[in-house]
Amino acid sequence: MARIPMKTLRYTLPAILLLGLGILLGWNLQQALSGTDTLASLRKLEEAFLTITQRYVDPVTPEPLVEEAIRAMLNELDPHSVYITAEEMKEIRESYQGSFGGVGIWFEVVEDTARVVATISGGPSEAAGLLPGDRIVAINDSSAIGFSSNEIQKRLKGPEGTRVKVTIRRLGMAQPLEFVITRDRIPLYTVDAAYLLDDGKTGYIRINRFAMTTYDEFMQHLDRLLRQGMQRLVLDLRDNPGGIMEAAVELVDEFLPAGQTIVYTRGRVAQADLSHRSTSGGRFETQPLIVLVNQNSASASEIVAGALQDNDRALIVGLRTFGKGLVQNQFTLSDGSVLQLTVARYYTPSGRLIQTPYRNGDAEDYYRQKFANYDAATFHPRDYLNEIPDSLKFQTVHGRVVFGGGGIMPDIVVAPDTTSLLLEVSRRNLAFTFVREWFAKHEAELRQAWTRRQQEFAASFNVDEAMWQAFLGYARKQGLFSTDTSRTRSFSPADVEAHRPELSTLLKAHLAWQLFGREAWFPLVNQVDPVLQEALRHWDQAEALAAYFQPKRSENPRKGR
């Protein structure tokens, strides 16, 4: 047997790996290439690859060519089939596994310096003695000034059990302080907030994504709120991009009695055809339920909203969801990179395919089509629904009409008030940036007054005249009071003064975030959240849906899990 020259081997190996792609994906290669056209196309790809790598005028590194070839192939399929590098895959796995090796802090970069916003309870930074407000100036004796958030994160994260030295500046301390922190497994929570609203009987739970830990997190909070007297629940899935489908199915199961369809999938091969049905013993099967969604609620979030809507179990409130009804499986390649390949489509119990239509992998056209009728669905929902063809109209278990063709259409649409002063302040991020600057000037006195007093802060802190006037001055400098007639609406100081209660609550919410962490923000900002406040006006409809699930007198009550 002739020996293959090393130079030739160098260029041939990537092609061999490419030919072996079918095996890596668990296919039978001979079967996959049985078609004459398929085999001829693969040979053509191999010929082009070898010609480029061996004959191009300059030396060519083969790996980038292979990666771009893979991306180009996926671009011809659909907008959600993607190639993920090994490094990107590592970060994604950490995110959805629900934990990573780190030091346990939330931080933000302010004026080129990372400031600790909060330490995670029970984490290594809390144990070492770091405090909210500490400025990170060095990591392992190397300056951290000017680092981006990603750079700070990369240097703080590492294998569990390893150590990292962090040098900080603390208010009131003349000299920097050094801490040696042993990295540990840090939980990445998917439940942002869970608490009782002011009436004491309405629970609120917000989920930011669906990971492997989501169901357990949700159940812990649900049980706690039930013990506190919760009688009805608002489940907030706004801006939740989805994640692991099984986590969404488990969550829905807690709201439905046994035997109800939650979601089903259909694909090219039989293994992709799955159906998920609810089991008995859910912890919240009969109580009123409202689900909040918006245009950024996607994938697993839409499974939840669609299942609960089709089974007449919950009232859906907000805006039409994103419309991602494609199921991806991950196929790991030899270097740890991944093909995230669409293998099936998922359908809600009534048979709705909520995927937005697409043309191959044309992402630009896909998003253009996706948002082409967004304004109509948001601001003129009745006209939008009247134009939907009968083929995209379906019925819920009890005969309500629901709609396919791209996303879940809420039962109650809450359109944003485009002329709202509060919305304009939020769009420009004025409250956040002002509070961050104001907090930096008053941090010492605020921490002295409110440290470990989160409940007292929420109950008794008020934005005083000095802070209010400072905000007005900041808003003026940022152009909020512009008289530019080309804008949809200009605002005057009198407009701002008229909305002082709502704006003061928004400022207070951002201040709570600085003092106590993000979880403290939600109970305050929700007081002026127009979507939540509108949803709370429709409990009569949610109660009517819940009535379908009340046990008959002859039935024995089910046992909890």
What are the pLDDT digits (tens) for 413-437?
A: 999 888 889 888 887 878 988 998 8
Q: How far is CA 223 from CA 210, 337, 358, 560, in A?
A: 19, 40, 42, 11
Q: Helices marked H in 373-464 — which ranges?
A: 374-379, 381-386, 421-427, 430-450, 454-460
Confidence check: pLDDT of 560 > 50: no
Length of the chain: 561
**3-state helix/strand/coil string of 178-222:** EEEEECEEEECCCEEEEEECCCCCEEEEEECCECCCHHHHHHHHH
Confidence check: pLDDT of 257 > 50: yes
pLDDT bin (cut points 50, 70, 90) of residue 553 is low
Mean pLDDT computed over 181-194 = 88
The whole-number pLDDT of residue 358 equals 80
Q: Catalytic site residue 299?
A: yes
pLDDT bin (cut points 50, 70, 90) of residue 24 is very low
Query: Does residue 104 or residue 4 have the better pLDDT?
Result: 104
Mean pLDDT computed over 508-527 = 91
Mean pLDDT computed over 71-81 = 87
Catalytic, out of 125, 278, 299, 504: 299
Query: Does residue 105 or residue 310 have the better pLDDT?
Result: 310
The whole-number pLDDT of residue 19 equals 34
Query: Does residue 64 or residue 517 have the better pLDDT?
Result: 64
Catalytic, out of 81, 125, 297, 324: 324
Q: 88-97, 287-296, 339-348: which range is least confident on average?
A: 88-97
The whole-number pLDDT of residue 99 equals 65
- Nearest CA to 315 out of 541, 160, 44 is that of 541
Classify 99-187 by CATH class: mainly beta
Q: How big is the CA angle at 452 (ends 449 and 458), to the nearest 5 degrees?
A: 75
The whole-number pLDDT of residue 412 equals 97
Q: Average pLDDT over the chain, rounded to whole? A: 86
Q: Catalytic site residue 273?
A: no
CATH superfamily of 191-327+343-413: 2-enoyl-CoA Hydratase; Chain A, domain 1 (3.90.226.10)
Helix (H) / strand (E) containing 289: strand 289-293
Q: 11-15, 281-285, 310-314, 346-350: which range is least confident on average?
A: 11-15
- Sorted by where each begins, the domain ranges of the chain are 6-29+36-75, 99-187, 191-327+343-413, 421-528
Confidence check: pLDDT of 16 > 80: no
pLDDT bin (cut points 50, 70, 90) of residue 527 is very high
Confidence check: pLDDT of 376 > 90: no
pLDDT bin (cut points 50, 70, 90) of residue 219 is very high
Confidence check: pLDDT of 30 > 60: no
Q: Catalytic site residue 41?
A: no
**Percent of the chain's residues with pLDDT above 90:** 50
The whole-number pLDDT of residue 100 equals 67
What token pair was written down for 465?
């005249």
CB-CB contact of 376 with 301 (8 Å): no
Catalytic, out of 78, 134, 236, 310: 310
Q: How far is CA 375 from CA 22, 267, 272, 323, 381, in A?
A: 44, 32, 35, 15, 9
Mean pLDDT computed over 487-496 = 76
What token pair was written down for 206?
């917000």
- Nearest CA to 157 out of 209, 105, 92 is that of 105
Greatest CA separation for the chain: 90
The whole-number pLDDT of residue 486 equals 52
**Percent of the chain's residues with pLDDT above 70:** 87
The whole-number pLDDT of residue 36 equals 62
